[in-house]
Structure 1
Amino acid sequence: MQPFGYYRVNVTSGLKRSVREKTNWIAKYVIDLGEPLKVQTVDVQIRGDGERDSVFQKLTADFPVKKGETLNHSKYEQAKALLRNIAEERGYFEAEFSKIPHTKNPQIKIDKQAYTASILMSFDTGPRYRFGDVTFKQDLFDKSVLERFLTFKPNEDFYTGAALLGFKNALVNSEYFDEVEVKSERPSPTRDKPVGDKRVPVIVTLKPRKPNKYSAGIGYGTDTGVRGDIEWKRRYVNRYGHRFSAKAQWSQIRKGVMARYSIPLGLSSDNFLAITASYKDENTDTSESEVWSLGISKHHSRILFNRKLSEVIGIEYRDERYAIGSDVGHAKLLMPNINWSYVNADNRIYTQHGQKIKLDVRGAWSRLGSNTSFLQSRLSGTFIRQPFSLTNGRIIARGDVGYSSISLLDGDFHDLPPSIRFFAGGDRSVRGYDYQALGPKNLEGQVIGGKHLLVGSLEYEHKIYGKWSLAAFYDVGNAFNDFSEPLKHGAGLGLRWQSPVGLIRIDVASALSEEGQPLRLHITIGPDL
């Protein structure tokens, strides 16, 4: 029992003949564990370069074996292994337990008279290695393209296993490669090598994916009716990692095509320049429009409040012919734009804890290539939480706020095309109302959209069986030209199914602000965020 800290175990035994079976004997043992042996002293010393390493300092300050607890040999061996693992992870490849004068190291020293134990360790990490040169074994991409995935600076940064794994994951997630092998060639530990030679070369072997990817999809929503799309992606166009994609979409209210050419920038996989061109023909109950656009944008990430945001800065030229109510026009807009987005979720398919926040700002000025002027911002967010740690329930809160300034730049609202105006109502807006059915109306009672938008939604969903859930929701909002105008309300119940193709939502909502509070069916497919 010594491995568990019991050094004063007393065992008594006895032997007697069985009463029933005279030929059998019964052996009886009584084990008295006695008092457990306590740890009196824990002396762990870190030597070498690791002495100044905050990770080792934190470990020694909160060592797994603690003074006053019962001695446990297994826990002691785990603590030794932890020291070795940290050294291996952080580039101390010559680390070893060094000798303590007049003792063995490491050791558990037992004082039988005082009945206490002392833990004595001296761990010499030796020098810390840095990353060395990185060699890529492939013949498709220019080296500069691959170096943008590096999570460390060769011949500068200290080695860590986490940085090496991050580098490998970045290559895997790039969509360039089918197979990625990243190996660190650690030199033989020889303490007589000069410190300047303490480098770990990295060898990367890559097998590229097929250049072309084709996909198609089909879906349904009560806003759009049946919809479908086909897409072609060219994963790499040349040795510099440029990409190309083209997509065609069709639904009962909207048809369109889009093409994008992407050029990697800098040393980050999410830093690139995109050139886009698109055409869209849309025909809804409130408007008709035909839109051609051409744009260029820079995509990159930004850290704000310890959160990684996606930032896009660009400029777009849009040519839109439209008819909405009695307004018929031809808008030509040169629009600078910027947007920030943040997404974090425990599961992107069916989120139980997560959020998505997006802010868009865009504008045009008649003195700079446009035939009208405006400045517009839009903030939207979705938050999903489990209430009171209930694993079968979740709360979904959604908000959408839009604001347009037109008169400030001497613009005219009637010169704004439908794609710039705000509308409310529909599957992902205020349920109970038709798609884009809410907003200011003209003298003929036709919805023509508004300068501003305000929408909010609160929903509770509860699992009832397997992948099936029930939901209750309340939506409120409207599009308007003045914030004093009344909001529209909708509420209802819904059924949810986590299908193989995504979350299917079937909602029946009542338009509470309309006479008779009519019911409307809403069906959507897709993730919450």
Structure 2
Amino acid sequence: MSLAAFPASAFETLSFAFPDLDQDIQDKITAYSALVKTKTDGKTEGPDVMAAALSDYGIIVETLYGSGYYGPEVSIRIDGREAADIPLLSTPQQVNRVDVLVRHGPSFKFSKAEVTPLAPGTDLPEDFRAGQRARADTISGAAQAAVDGWRNIGYPKADLTREDITANHETRRVSAEMGVTTGPRLRFGRILNVGKSNVRGAALRRIAGLPTGEIYDPQQVKDAVDRLTRTGTFATVTLREKDQPNADGTLDYTLDVVDSKPRRIGAGAEISSLEGLSLTGYWLHRNILGGAERLRFDASITDITDQPDTLDYTLTGRLDVPAVIGPETNGYFETELQHLQEPNYDLDSIELTLGITRQLTEYLYTEIGVGYLYSETKDDLGDRTFELLTLPMKAEYDRRDNEFDPRHGFYILTEATPFMNLRDDPNGARLYGDFRGYLALGARERSVLAGRVMLGSVVGPDIDQTPPDYLFYSGGAGTVRGQPYQSLAIDLGNGDSIGGRSFAGLSAEFRQDIGESLGAVLFYDAGYIGRDSTPGGDDGEWHAGAGLGVRYKTGIGPLRFDVAMPAGGDTGEGVQIYLGIGQAF
């Protein structure tokens, strides 16, 4: 016997009794229950409760059928009266108690389980065979697998046209015989009736990339929809196959899209007790040239403090053009202007990059370009000018369940920027990797372990021949909380310092939910900067920071408040405070 009770706000009690019913089936019933939803939503008037009770008869029976029980007993009593027996014209206006009793009855097994014809390579559910539990879910799964098997090899009109399913209550056996009509094998035709959109029809077809003339493949249809959706230009995308194929064996499609609003703006802020205030903003225009292009400008002002010589300015403009080389490959042009007054150097630079991007899978994104970088720098080595021809490359693999507040999965970012020096210094490459993982703990998953490893290296030129912004530093909100920003660098003697050619960063967090909106975090960060290209050698130094944080959940991600202090190294002292939006990583 299992009993689940739900205390009420307007009526006294909603309870479920499940004698001898497996826990997973109990969980499904309460998860799908209209009574539970009505209660949770605060709809506790008599007519609302009555409608939910009547709906729950079907929901519960269907759930039990799905698990192979075809003779269940379901009783739903409203203040002691069976809901099904209450006349609709006599529905009570007030309800005090609802009791639900569910007895699953005998289980049924397959006497026969057959679906024909089957396409080569079709995998039916393992338990769709004589002698196994006759779950309705198994029957529907076998039917879907049979239809999908034919569709996957070029028969888009395959459909289930015969269902002969009989449950014998005396023998407790189910006979399931189903038949599939395959229809003809077809090839992709044209995309018709593009509909009302500010994107040109030719551009829509080019981005969709439906392979006209090739044998039908449902994955190609899904990929076409995904490509259109990823442009960000459309609020909805619907690609429908025509009811009737063409005489030449092709199948046409109709495409319906709803454009998103063309323009969007956004802003963000982050503050640190040592680094000061950082402000960011962006302006986005979708479909700026009529081909689903996207133009975006990002601006940031950082290190806003009471000191006049710390402000950093960055302005970036980027134009993304979909389907420049086939439907899968997009192009981009990016310009970045920077004026930085960092603790270890000052920099003014302009960078121009032309490249291509490709979404290789649902989770894997890649990017490669060719660029030109001009920078004028001032540091402890003096005033210098750099001109580089670059080949920036990036790969991003994202399996997080949520970008701003992840609880499961992992994230991998790798970057490589080979560069050719157009002046006298040697050529080389800058390498960087960012690896993050998340694990939720407990039955309710209210605790999360989060870890991060960052690695960086500059190979080729010596430390004094490398642009300062290509070198690595540690300390601050993005690396080691509790340590001053860019406080760990290479000591050149006489009070002079410069960034390192290698970097390693480690972060660990334990995140604990407190109630529905609040959370607490315990964290530890460590960072390493080395003179040589290999991280972790004897030529470098480590420092660390640790602290506590509070998170307040909002609609755009958790509001972050962290308090940290040094836990190793001699680069800082005292307490640092950080405030921002989203988890630290």
- Tell me the equivalent position of 1:478: 528
Q: Percent identity?
A: 16
- In structure 2, the partner of 1:19 is none
Q: SS in structure 2 opposite 1:106?
A: strand
One-letter amino acid matched to 1:295: T
Once the two structures are TM-superposed, the CA of residue 144 in structure 1 deviates from its matched residue by 4.5
**Corresponding residue number in structure 2 for 1:526:** 582
1:377 equivalenced with 2:415 (yes/no): no
> Is the partner of 2:493 in helix, strand or coil?
coil
Residue aligning to 2:124: 58
Deviation per residue, 1:466-498 (Å, 9 max, x gap): 221111122222212142133112222222222
Q: TM-score, normalised by structure 1?
A: 0.76
Structure 1 residue 449 displacement after superposition: 1.1
* Secondary structure of residue in 1 paired with 2:464: helix
2:209, 2:326 within 8 Å by CA — same for their partners in 1? no
- Displacement of 1:177 in angstroms is 3.0
Q: Secondary structure at the match of 1:476?
A: strand
Q: Distance in 2 between matches of 1:267 and 1:175?
A: 18
The 8 Å contact of residues 119 and 146 in structure 2, kept in 1 or not, is answered as no
Gap change, CA 1:95 and 1:216, over 3 Å in 2: closer
Q: Which residue of 2 aligns with 1:428?
A: 478
> Counterpart of 1:171 in 2: which secondary structure?
helix
Of residues 220, 226, 231, the one that matches 1:174 is 231
Give SS of 2:468's match: coil
How many angstroms apart in 1 are the aligned matches of 2:318 and 2:524?
39
Read off the aligned partner of 2:554 and give its amino acid letter: S
Q: Give the 3-state SS of the residue equivalent to 1:67 in structure 2.
A: coil
1:127 aligns with 2:180: no
How far off is 1:393 after superposition? Answer: 0.8
Letter in structure 1 aligned against 2:561? I
Q: What is the match of residue 387 of structure 1?
A: 441
Distance in 2 of aligned mates of 1:119 and 1:468:
53
SS at match of 1:146: helix
Q: Are the equivalent residues in 1 in contact too, given 2:234–2:259 (CA < 8 A)? A: yes
Whether 2:469 is the aligned partner of 1:399: answer no
CA–CA distance in 2 between the matches of 1:499 and 1:38?
A: 48
1:351, distance to aligned residue in structure 2 (A): 0.8
Once the two structures are overlaid, the 10-residue window that deviates more, 351-360 or 87-96, is 87-96
Q: CA deviation at 1:439?
A: 1.3
Instruction: Indicate yes or no: 2:505 matched with 1:455.
Output: yes
Aligned counterparts, 1:39-118, within 5 A: 41-47=111-117, 51-55=118-122, 57-59=123-125, 62-63=127-128, 66-67=130-131, 69=133, 93=157, 95=159, 106=164, 108=166
- Give the Cα–Cα distance (whole angstroms) in 1 for the partners of residues 160 and 525 of structure 2: 64
The answer to whether the 8 A contact 1:247-1:258 is kept is yes
Once residues 289 and 416 of structure 1 are traced to their aligned partners in structure 2, the CA distance between those partners, rounded to angstroms, is 13
* Distance (whole Å) between structure 1 residues aligned to residue 469 and residue 107 of structure 2: 77
The 5-angstrom pairing of residues 11-50 of structure 1 reads 41-47=111-117
Provide the rounded CA distance (Å) in 1 between the counterparts of 2:383 and 2:197: 56
Alpha-carbon distance in structure 2 between the residues aligned to 1:492 and 1:36: 58
Q: Which of the residues 270, 278, 292 maps onto 2:350? A: 292
Structure 2 residue aligned with 1:413:
463
Q: Which residue identity lines up with residue 509 of structure 2 in the other structure?
A: E
TM-fit CA distance, 1:462: 0.9
CA contact (8 A) 1:460 1:471 kept: yes
CA distance in 2, matches of 1:249, 1:323: 21
Cα 1:224–1:37 change in 2 (3 A) is closer
Which residue is 1:201 aligned to? 252
Instruction: Give the superposition deviation at 1:281.
Output: 0.6
Residues 448 and 126 (structure 1), Cα distance of their counterparts in 2 relative to 1, 3 Å cut: closer
- State whether structure 2 residue 399 is matched by structure 1 residue 344: yes
Residue 171 of structure 1 deviates from its aligned partner by 2.9
Q: Distance in 2 between matches of 1:518 and 1:308?
A: 41
Which residue identity is paired with 2:112? V
Q: Which residue of 2 aligns with 1:513?
A: 568
Give the superposition deviation at 1:95.
4.4
Distance between the aligned counterparts of 1:210 and 1:110, measured in 2?
A: 57
Whole-angstrom distance in 2 between the partners of 1:329 and 1:218: 34
Contact (CA 8 Å) 1:298, 1:312: kept in 2 or not?
A: yes
Distance 2:543 2:381 in 1: 24
Work out whether residues 474 and 529 of structure 2, in 8 Å CA contact, stay in contact via their aligned partners in 1.
yes
Secondary structure, aligned partner of 2:469: coil
Q: Which of 240, 253, 256 in structure 1 is aligned with 2:314? A: 256
Distance 1:111 1:457, change over 3 A: closer
Is this contact kept in 2: 1:134–1:204, CA < 8 A? Answer: yes
Q: Distance in 2 between matches of 1:380 and 1:75?
A: 42
Which range moved further: 134-143 or 441-450? 134-143
Mapped to 2, the partners of 1:277 and 1:37 lie a distance apart of: 67
Relative contact order (alpha carbons < 8 A, sep ≥ 6): 1 or 2 greater? 1
Measure the CA separation in 2 of the matches of 1:472 and 1:92.
54
Q: Offset at 1:167? A: 3.8
Structure 1 counterpart of 2:325: 266
1:16-75 Cα deviation digits (max 9, x unpaired): xxxxxxxxxxxxxxxxxxx9797573151413xxx22534x424x542x74265x78x78
The answer for unaligned runs of 5 or more in structure 2 is 1-64, 72-104, 305-310
Question: SS state of the match for residue 147, structure 1?
Answer: helix
What SS does the corresponding residue of 1:321 show, helix, strand or coil?
strand
1:276 alignment partner in structure 2: 334
Is the CA contact 2:124–2:142 (under 8 Å) kept in the aligned structure 1?
Answer: no
SS state at 2:131 partner = coil
The answer on whether the counterparts of 1:356 and 1:381 sit within 8 Å (CA) in structure 2 is: yes
Residue type of the partner of 1:496? Answer: R
Equivalent residues, number: 468
- The offset of 1:322, in angstroms, is 1.4
**360, 375, 379: which one aligns with 1:324:** 379
Return the match for 1:246 from 293, 297, 304.
Answer: 297
CA contact 1:337–1:360 (8 Å) conserved in 2: yes
Q: Distance in 2 between matches of 1:5 and 1:233?
A: 56
For residues 408-445 of structure 1, the C-alpha deviation after alignment (integer angstroms, 9 at most, x for no partner) is xxx34223222111100111211221111111122232
Work out whether residues 282 and 299 of structure 2, in 8 Å CA contact, stay in contact via their aligned partners in 1: yes
Q: Find the aligned partners of 2:278 and 2:519 in 1 and give their Cα distance.
A: 25
Change (3 A) 1:376 1:125: same
Change (3 A) 1:44 1:479: same
Deviation at 1:163, TM superposition (A): 5.6
Task: Tell me which residue corresponds to 2:87.
Answer: none
